Amino acid sequence: MVHDRRGNRRYGLGNPVARQVSTCTINIFHVIDNNNKDILVYIMPRITPLLPLEVRRALRQLGPDLKDARLRRRLPMSVVAERAQISLPTLSRVERGDAAVSMGVYATVLWVLGMGDRIGRLAAAETDTVGLHLEAERLPKRVRLPRSKVAEPPPKRS
Judge if pTM exceeds 0.75: no
HSE (CB half, 13 Å, CA atoms) of 117?
Answer: 1
- Chain centroid to CA 33: how far? 38
Which sign, positive or negative, has the C-alpha torsion 33, 35, 38, 41?
negative
Q: Which long-range contacts (CB under 8 A, 24 or more apart) does 11-15 make?
A: 13/39, 13/41
Distance CA 56, CA 54 (A): 5
Choosing among 3.90.1150.10, 3.40.50.150, 3.30.540.10, 1.10.260.40, the CATH entry for 53-136 is 1.10.260.40
**Percent with pLDDT over 70 in the chain:** 65
Based on its alpha-carbon atoms, the radius of gyration of the chain, rounded to whole angstroms, reads 30
Give me the pLDDT at residue 23, please.
Answer: 44
Average predicted confidence (pLDDT) for the chain: 78
Q: What is the DSSP string of 35-85?
A: T--EEEEEEPPPPPPP--HHHHHHHHHHHHHHHHHHHHTT--HHHHHHHHT
> What is the identity of the amino acid at 106?
Y
Spans of all domains in the chain: 8-43, 53-136
Question: Which pLDDT tens digit goes with each residue over 118-153?
Answer: 888 888 888 888 888 888 888 887 888 887 766 666
